[in-house]
Each structure stands twice: as C-alpha cells, then as structure tokens.
Chains A and B, each alone.
Chain A
C-alpha cells in the first residue's frame, strides 16, 4: 500500500510509493485524469491487432488440421494426419536440420563480421561515414533481387568463374549452385553479405555507448588492443549483442527469398529449409493443410530457438554487468 506523507509546512502532500519514489499531488491528479479515460478507447487498437494479426494466424493454423486445397471452401477435418504426413516425410527432417545449421552458421559469421566492421569503422577514418553507408547498403536492397544478382555472379559462365580463369585458377572453376555443398555455402555467403550491414550498425550503436575513458584507462594500464577488446569492449557490447544475435537468428531461420532466388531449394533439395518447404507445400502443391502443419512446426522451432537464445543472452548480460 502507498502511504500519505504530509510535509512539515503542510503545503505539499506526497504519496510515497512502495518503491520509495514519490509523486506530487499534481502528478497524481494527472494520473487520475488519465484514469478517467474510458477503457473502451483501447478497443480499436486491440481489435486491429486481434483481427489483423492474431485471428488470421489462428485461422491459418486451423488449416493444419484440414485437407483444404486452396480452391473452393470445402475442407474436411483430418485431425493430426497432416502432422503425421509431414513428419514422416524425410524431406522435413532434412529441412529442419538444414534450417537450424544454416541459421547457426549465419548468426556466427554475420555477428563476427559485423563486430569486426563496427570496431574497424569506429576508428577515426576520414572515409568512415562513406564506408558505413557502403557496408549498410546491401541491407536496403530487395532480398529477391540480391539473390538473382548473386545467381548471375555464381553461374557457371558468370563473373566468379571468369575471374578464376583470368587469374590462372581455372582448375577451381565450379558449378557453384549445383554442388550440394557449394550451393548451401552460396546461400550463407549471400545472407551474410546482405545482413552484415545491419549487425555492423547495431554494434556501432553499442560501441558509441561505451565511454572512451574506459578505453583510455585500459591503455594507461598497458592493455594491448586485443586485451582491451576482450576485457573492456566485448563485455560492454553484451546488450547490442543480444539484439543483433536474436535478430539475425530470426532472419536466418526465416531465410526464404535468398534461397528461392539463388537455388530454388536445389540441387536435389540440398538447400530446402522449413521456410521453402512451407511455401512449396502450400502454394506450389496446393496442400494448404500440410503447408500449415509445417508452418506451425516452423513457428515452434523459431520460437523455441529465439526465446531460448534471448534468455541465455540476457543472463549473460546480467552476469557481465555484475
């Protein structure tokens, strides 16, 4: 319970809150005014979110338990048959593991490169603003267009192979996008190329919040660049890292345009992920039920991984701040 306290001159009444802070009477009256706002003012906002976001998601989820084909309104309840079907399909298992491995590799590489760029471009270079803009630029491009550009670059008669031949490395010429290993690596490269700008910006913001005095103090104590980074900069980047890692994990798990544009899921399904499987089942094959079942599995995978990772990173933040 809050308690009322009267000042000795009895001119001002404070209400002491449980947390020890105090609110003036003026603020209290302002809060009372706010309290008089009718509760139903929230209806448009809440209704919009419910109707436009949650209701379609729930409705979409119900298709997972039907045999709806996308044509007409006729659908029959099939229970968990769609889940049984997609889980018994070997393609789903492969797609799940590929999704997770691709996302993990992406998160590691894009964050390492992002931190490296941020640290490098924090230095007092004359061209740092230009360089920051250039590195951020790919993030602003259309994902599908980017994938098509890279498809051209990596084509057998494309610039990469032409360059290899030109510098006398013709023996390294590859059909990059039709090798199962190189194709998935190509997807990873394109993802990293596109999202490095984002992580760089997040880490730059994190670096800006670190006091230069700490850096200078470490220098006075004789710390090398590596020691300063390891013991001063890196721990203080923890909040930025939580944001960057969580965001990139979600982007990595949901990568779709880059895969469809670059490899179409091939060769022989070696770049199929859950996101591309959902699209294929739903819109290519017209199996809305199986597609929705896969989408629900996908949502669970994304939620578990991203929430789990966020919890771990938050704990790390708290540990480092102690």
Chain B
C-alpha cells in the first residue's frame, strides 16, 4: 500500500475518534455504575434495606408491618440470609459501598461480628440511643467497639444447656439431675429403655467446643472467671489447667456411661436436632436457642432445660451467650429512620416478640429475671448471679478459628483419634493463632 501524508492524517484522525469514543463509552459506563450505587437522601419517605438471618423472619414478619403502620412513609425491605451466605455477602456489600441500612451482627469477634465490622468502620455509633440502658449488662461489651455501642442486642440464651423432653421425664419418673453423677445415672436409665439419652452433634465443631466450654463453667470458670485473661497474657494454658482436663474427662465419662448414640461422632447439627425432635433422644446438649428449630419440627414437644451439673450442685454455673444484634451501616443514607426502627424493637413487648421466635430471653427480661417457661430451670442461676458470659466463645480475638480447631480436635475424643492431652495441646495451639 502506498501511504501519503493525507492518508497518515486520516489514520491519525480515525485513531483519535476511536480513542474519544472509547473514553466516552468508559465514562458512560462509570456514570451508570455511579448511578446504581447512589441512593436517596434521608427523608420521611425512606425505604430501609435490612440484611438479617433467616431465623428472625417470623418475628420480623410480625414487627415490620407494625412499625410501618406507626411510621407512615418508612418502608423496610428485609433480605434474609442463611449464616454461610450471610458471612460472604454482607461484608462484601459493605466493602462495595452497597451495604444494607440495618444489618444483623454476631456478638463479639467472629467473622460477621460487631468487632470485625465495627473495626472496619462499617457500623454507626449508637451509643447515644435511649435503648442502650436496656441492653443486657453481662453481654453489652460484646456489642461495643472501643467503648462505643454498635448494635442493639436481640437476646441471650444458654451457651450449652441440656434440653429435655418433659413429657418423657414425667412419664418415666425422671428428674433433672443436680450433680454430674446423677446425670450419668440418668443416662444409664434412659439408655436401658432403648433411647439415646443425650443428642450431641460431635460432627459439629461449634457444638463440641461450646459444650466443653460449658462443662468448664463448673470445673474451672465459675471459680476462676478471669482465667481467659490469664491465658491471653500467657500465664495459663489449657494443658496446664486441671479444670480443662476435668471437663474433657467428663465428656469421656458420659461417653462411657452411654449418654450418647453409638454414632454420635458423626452426628451433624441437623441430625442432632432431628434426634431430639423425633423422640429418638430424650435430651439434647447444645445452645438453648436451637430449641426453636426443634419446635419447628415437633411443635407438640414440651421442652425444658437444666444447666450441665457439676460434681456438686453448688458448683454449677451457667454460661450465657449473646444471640446477636442489629446495627446500622455507617454510610446509610437513612440513619434516622434506621435508628427509629431500633428504638421500636427495643420496646419490652417488641423485644420479647423478636426473642421468642428464636426461643431466646429478651435483654429486658434477662435483666428482670423474667424467663420464658422453657428457661425456668435456669432461673436460679440468674437469680443467684451464677451466670458467666461466654468470653471463650465470643470475646477471644480468633474466636471462629478457636471454635473450629478445638471442636475438630474434641471430635477426636469421640472417634478415638485424640487423647485429652492432645486436645488440650490443640486448644493451646488454636488460641495462639494470629487473627
């Protein structure tokens, strides 16, 4: 091809036009994206978005219409997530600048927790809200970052208690055990009738870890509530603390006394709930709030709870677990409306409504020692101030990793892959891991 100076100029012009066209296209795309990301300013006509756990849907289905009726112009659009989806979706939405105005948060330091999201600057400071004074004092710190309140607590439950079928107990003349040896006798009695005495999901790391920490309330933490601080400062270890060895020994003692099903080592959380709901098992050792899932499967079941008993009744303590809360996105365009909603659900009745669907104790009821019927067996611990916050589950820096690694190791006690010494060593290694 023969090139001329005019041809070169034409070519240069074409290139320039292409470059301008491309730049315009990119700019148009960017503008479009910006438009997508923008949101309306705060006003009386606000649409609040809400990211919540699926379990709270029944309670919010009742409360949201009430709130919208009281506050014409404010609409709430909730999206419900299962825990695994939530953990991946909500932090990503925050990072992408597309967070929900109201958002569910785990208490403490887990992956989708107040501490993590608060430290990242994703949560609004709610310290000046009127409902702060009604938060449950023992767990309030789990909703704070650097002394600032970042979420409204939704309730508490037992970290791990023994739920039981009251009809079966009364029909067979069985009573709540008050000592550990009575618990072993109870297991023998139920086992002799061909039933699984205690449903324990050893296939779930969280259940294993929470149950052992709960047993340690009696063998260690009740008498030494500051043990975790000693551990974190390096002056104590799991392996060197007899109370932890004793708690793990109790697991083996229960296993030996046929408290668990022969296949407990592989039982998952859902299978455990199914065993208890279906009447295969007469007791279930886990987080008290999980009774909500049991009652969904078996609404006719009558359930009560007792704390895992110590060797002597007076040494029994109860660990309580904060159930999570609702916070406000720091970049929300509708902060005032979002705070209005938190104020609304902080009413005594509304708070109880929201807690009751998940078989939780509302913060106000916990303060007033007004426990739901299912929790009556745990009332003495609230009255006698023998409750502990489950710091080993929600307050340590790498709580999720600690729970998973320790729980996996505890499963080894069931399968025979681990000894008590090995589990204690694994727990020391797990807590030392950098977050």
Binding site for B on A (CB under 8 A): 40, 43, 69-74, 85, 151, 155-157, 175-180, 264-270, 280, 283-287
Contacts and interface: CB of A to CB of B under 8 A. Distances in A.
Nearest to B110: A286
A268 B271 contact: no
A71 B94 contact: yes
B111 A155 contact: no
Given A156-B262, A156-B263, 6 more contacts: A43-B22, A69-B120, A175-B415, A267-B414, A269-B408, A285-B111
A70 B89 CA distance: 10
A77 B120 CA distance: 17
Interface in B90-124: 91-92, 94-95, 111, 116-117, 119-122
Contact of A178 (B22, B117, B266, B400): B266
A72 B262 contact: no
- Tell me the interface secondary structure of chain B in the complex: helix
B87 A280 contact: no
A178 B119 contact: no
Q: Which residue, of A71, A178, A283, has the highest number of chain B Cβ atoms within 10 A?
A: A71
Contact of A72 (B18, B94, B268): B94
A72 B121 contact: yes
B266 A267 contact: yes
Contacts of A179: 415
A93 to B, nearest CB: 15
A285 B398 contact: yes
B424 to A, nearest CB: 15
Please list the 10 inter-chain residue pairs (A to B) with the smallest Cβ-Cβ separation, ordered nearest first: A156-B263, A72-B120, A178-B265, A178-B266, A71-B120, A177-B266, A268-B412, A286-B111, A175-B263, A285-B401
B380 to A, nearest CB: 36
27 contacts: A40-B18, A69-B435, A70-B95, A71-B94, A71-B120, A72-B95, A73-B95, A155-B266, A156-B262, A157-B261, A157-B280, A175-B263, A175-B266, A178-B415, A264-B203, A264-B205, A266-B203, A267-B408, A267-B414, A267-B417, A268-B408, A268-B412, A283-B87, A283-B88, A285-B111, A285-B401, A286-B111
- Tell me the interface secondary structure of chain A in the complex: loop
A52 to B, nearest CB: 14
Given A69-B120, A156-B262, A267 B412 contact: yes
Contacts, number: 106
B272 to A, nearest CB: 12
A178 B94 contact: no
A267 B265 contact: yes
B261 A156 contact: yes
Nearest to B407: A266
Contacts of B434: 85
B409 interface: yes
A130 to B, nearest CB: 35
B202 interface: yes
Contact of B262 (A151, A175, A180): A175
Contacts of A151: 268
Interface string B411-434: 110110110000000000000001
B411 A69 contact: no
A176 B412 CA distance: 14
A68 B141 CA distance: 25
